[in-house]
Amino acid sequence: MTPKLTHPNPNILVSGEGESHQLLTHTVVWKITTEDTNSRYAMFEMTDTVGGSAPAHNHPWEETFYILEGELDIQIGDRYATIGAGAVAHFPANVVHAFKIVSPVARVLIVVSPTIAEAFYREAGARITSFPPDPIVVQEMCEKYNLQPQ
């Protein structure tokens, strides 16, 4: 007997497929959206080059990084590590964390939950378009999504 699919949006994407946008220096490719998962989680691939980073911050959603290629320096709370392909880093909600790419290129598969995270990344990609970012826009985004720079 073949199991019946109960999910409204089954999805298969081959390598390179997915909706893409820039978030500062990161290229984000959405693989699974909250629409695909009944608002339970979303998943995207992030690609960037050496020096690409996110400074220490926390937010009310969880993130899990699975390193596909390259190396990142990771901070989770007071723990620091350099991790490479095949490694996983899980950032619980409201825990201070940061990362910096230390290899020439890195590709990271990122799973976020709950769905407010996808809304943040999409809006940040649309509104934060210069480097360094406009501090007024950053402040507005931090307040709207309860993101706390450290």
Q: pLDDT band for position 71 (50/70/90)?
A: very high
Q: Specify the residue for token string 């995270």.
A: 117
Residue 149 φ/ψ, nearest 5 degrees:
-65, 150
Listed ranges 21-25, 52-56, 65-69, 126-130; the one with the highest mean pLDDT: 65-69
Q: Identify which has the larger pLDDT, 70 or 131.
A: 70
pTM, 2 dp: 0.90
For the chain, list the strands marked E by DSSP.
Answer: 19-23, 26-32, 42-49, 53-58, 62-69, 71-76, 79-84, 88-91, 97-101, 105-113, 148-149
Q: pLDDT band for position 110 (50/70/90)?
A: very high
